[in-house]
Amino acid sequence: MHLNPKPRLLIVEDEPIIREMCLRILAPRGFEIHLASNGLVGMEKLSQNNFDLCLIDIKMPLMSGKELYNWLVENYSKTAEHVIFTTGDTMSESVLAYINQSGRPFLVKPFTSAELVEAVRKNLPNNC
């Protein structure tokens, strides 16, 4: 019997505590987790690997989640269909407008482990 490989997730998050929390929650649940500390590192990893799902923080230094997502749409449109945004800035009209315009789901920080797992499972491609 052939076992499917673990679903590959990329977490692009500038806050080390949140990156580590995602790793600790998702890895034991059968996900292969890759971490990026900002959008530029995320872009490099996305250029070199295939991922089933990406969690991308909206506001990061060097390259924002918006910029990374726009780059994904232009270069890896299938991967862009499996992005979940994370944000701690739900008061900003521009952030909410961007998320709504993208049509992508989002998690509000701080999120619970149950919210994270549910969002990931709900947004994985059907073949995972």
Q: How confident is the prediction along the chain (128 residues), in pLDDT tens digits per residue?
A: 445 589 999 999 999 999 999 999 999 999 999 999 999 999 999 999 999 999 999 999 999 999 999 999 999 999 999 999 999 877 788 888 999 999 999 999 999 999 999 999 999 998 77
pLDDT score recorded for residue 21: 97
The single-letter DSSP state of residue 76 is -
pLDDT score recorded for residue 76: 95
Whether 102 is in a domain gets the answer: yes
Strand partners, 12: 36, 56
Residues 6+ apart with CB under 8 A from 5: 32
Whether 1 is in a domain gets the answer: no
CB 67 within 8 A of CB 85: no
Whether 3 is in a domain gets the answer: no
Whether 32 is in a domain gets the answer: yes
Residue 31 sits in a domain whose CATH number is 3.40.50.2300
Strand partners, 14: none
Give the structural domain span for 62: 8-123
Whether 2 is in a domain gets the answer: no
pLDDT score recorded for residue 96: 86
Residues 6+ apart with CB under 8 A from 94: none
